[in-house]
Chain A
Amino acid sequence: MAVRTLLFLAALLVLALIAPLLIANRFLIDVLTLILFSAFLGQSWNILGGYAGQFSFGSVVFFGTGAYTSSILLMTFGIDAWIGAIAALFAGAAVGAFVGFLSFRYGLRGSYFALITLAFAEVFKVLANSVEFTGGGIGIFIEHEPGLARLQFDDPAGYYYIALALTVVSLAIAWWLERSRFGAYLKAIRENEDAAEALGVNAFRCKMYAIMISGAMGGVGGTFYAQKFLYIDPPIAYGVATSVEMLLVSIVGGMGTVFGPLVGSFVLHGVNEVTRHYIQTPGLSLIVYGLILIAIIGYLPNGLIGLFKGRARPKDAEDA
């Protein structure tokens, strides 16, 4: 990576760190928090969908399981949310292992994998609705007691910094994938699973790791969400909307790229907020939003990152 890029990223990080001091408008801090959080969830999808090429339509299942895990630990057992976040991480990875084992062992690929993940998310929703310890359809209310141990804050900047930290960690994971042997294996599986196996790549194991990393990230994201919004119920925890958002920010930004989900999240949420703000006619803002989405996906198959990458600069010049 060029020194210039590194400097640019460092400057961006510094700017992100001091942003809450510069921005007086607390609502704007909230919007930024949500953008970063969405980028983080998008990155968790991107590792499985973008790098490993396994399109999940139900990645919300990790998020929801994480949210329930830490919330139940907190409200039923009084265990602090930061421990809950660690538990959520393992719970997410465990659900990843469970879904992954059942799908990959039986060779589900492509749209079949997408469908089975969608189905798993729905099954978890029905289960969360029907069992006692999740609070059923009523959901779980979380008491607001600000403090670092609970990952709750009076100032939105607190949530902002946590979302920022999550995003930075997720970028670091994607960065590592770009240069590690494991990342190369995932990309090989995405490009051609049979050829990858012929080269001695254990596709099953690599896909299992990918879905578990993705699940662990989603689980932690669930804890963050629950502590910020202080309420979860089955439609929030396992609704299809979050799954779609996760894949949308990655696809719009650029699948299988380090910064794709972040860029996608900024653009999608930015467009969404701006159209909502300036277009008063009800529903029209959604139409405009939809048209912009169609345009991006139709004309930029490699996402927004694809605008800056690829043809113009032969990769080899940099690697050699």
Chain B
Amino acid sequence: MLEVRGLEAGYGQVRILRGIDIDVADGEIVAVLGSNGAGKTTLNNNISGLYRPFAGSVRFAGEDVTGAASEAIVERGLVQVPEGRRIFPNMSVRENLELGSYRRGKPNRAANIARVLEIFPRLEERLGQAAGTLSGGEQQMLAIGRGLMAEPKLLILDEPSLGLSPLLVEQMFALIRRINDDGLAVVLVEQNVMQSLALADRAYVIENGAVTLSGAAAELLENADLKRAYLGI
């Protein structure tokens, strides 16, 4: 579904990504792991068209989308939920959700809202409330729900666990599993290594702008290098 080949990207003169290869198949959850500054968000922004890569290619659903405009990429069904819960704070929860469906999925808007509310019942009580008044976890649910409104074929979640309590992270990941059960492919970009590996089918570990480890999530969980790097064992 998604094929990233030799992606090099950065900002201005600064090269962050130094040739990245990533594949995502239909219906998979793929974790992209790495610490702060590894280049996870840069990877995201270049896949979803917010920035133009220096070199390499991005193919989505068989089409080359390297450097395409973000709205064209969203139209094809590749939707990103940006990090840090970027909701529209002064708009109501309902308006936030509706905004997700302008570019794609507008005919089914009502049904999609119902589906998002079924997945995130907490949002139902808050539909008319300004989104800025929601708690951190609810805002993250809203951001994901807004992404779902565009009927994505592939959803990229950038650090959905950021700033959430361990309990909420667990709930959030269970909800991501649920979204994936409906057949939606998910790329989970995370720092939370252990929980992400438990959730994902496959994973890539990025360090200093390059993939240093990749494979089935279950195998990576047993990987000694990863344990040393992230758990200090």
Indicate if the CB atoms of A316 and B128 lie closer than 8 Å.
Answer: yes
- Give Cα distance in the complex from A183 to B155, angstroms: 26
* Other-chain contact of B70, A188, A197, A315 (Cβ < 8 Å): A197
* Other-chain contact of A315, B80, B86, B102, B128 (Cβ < 8 Å): B128
The stretch from B24-32, B91-99, B190-198, B209-217 touching chain A is B91-99
User: Which residues of B have CB within 8 Å of A195?
Assistant: 82, 86-88, 143
Does B89 count as interface, using CB distance less than 8 angstroms?
yes
B residues 102-146 in Cβ contact with A at 8 Å:
102-104, 127-129, 143, 146
Indicate if the CB atoms of A192 and B88 lie closer than 8 Å.
Answer: yes
CB distance from B107 to the nearest CB of A (A): 14
Give the tally of cross-chain contacts (CB within 8 A).
80
B residues 64-98 in Cβ contact with A at 8 Å:
69-71, 73-75, 79-82, 86-92, 94-95, 98
Indicate if the CB atoms of B94 and A200 lie closer than 8 Å.
Answer: no
User: Which residues of B have CB within 8 Å of A315?
Assistant: 92, 94-95, 128
User: Which residues of B have CB within 8 Å of A188?
Assistant: 88, 91, 99
User: Which residues of B have CB within 8 Å of A314?
Assistant: 92, 128-129
CB distance from A202 to the nearest CB of B (A): 5
Does A187 count as interface, using CB distance less than 8 angstroms?
yes
Indicate if the CB atoms of A200 and B73 lie closer than 8 Å.
Answer: yes
Does B100 count as interface, using CB distance less than 8 angstroms?
yes
User: Which residues of B have CB within 8 Å of A202?
Assistant: 69-71
By secondary structure, the A interface counts as helix
Does B150 count as interface, using CB distance less than 8 angstroms?
yes
* Other-chain contact of B102, A181, A198, A319 (Cβ < 8 Å): A181
Of B48, B92, B102, most buried by chain A (CB within 10 Å of CB) is B102
- Give Cα distance in the complex from A200 to B68, angstroms: 11
A residues 296-320 in Cβ contact with B at 8 Å:
314-317, 319
Does B179 count as interface, using CB distance less than 8 angstroms?
no
Indicate if the CB atoms of B86 and A198 lie closer than 8 Å.
Answer: yes
Q: Take A198-B48, A199-B100 as given contacts and tell me if A192 and B86 are in contact as well, using a CB distance cutoff of 8 Å.
A: yes
- Give Cα distance in the complex from A30 to B25, angstroms: 70
CB distance from A181 to the nearest CB of B (A): 5
Indicate if the CB atoms of A184 and B99 lie closer than 8 Å.
Answer: yes
Considering the complex, give the chain A residue whose CB is closest to the CB of B98.
A184
Considering the complex, give the chain B residue whose CB is closest to the CB of A187.
B91
Indicate if the CB atoms of B91 and A198 lie closer than 8 Å.
Answer: no
Indicate if the CB atoms of B127 and A199 lie closer than 8 Å.
Answer: no
- Give Cα distance in the complex from A319 to B96, angstroms: 13
CB distance from A22 to the nearest CB of B (A): 40
Given A194-B82, A196-B99, A198-B70, output 4 extra A-B contacts at Cβ < 8 Å.
A184-B95, A187-B95, A199-B79, A314-B128
Of the A-B pairs whose beta carbons lie under 8 Å apart in the complex, a sample of 11, sorted by A's number, is A184-B95, A187-B88, A188-B99, A191-B87, A194-B50, A195-B88, A197-B70, A198-B79, A198-B81, A200-B73, A317-B128
Q: Which 4 A-B pairs have the closest CB atoms?
A: A316-B128, A200-B74, A191-B88, A195-B86
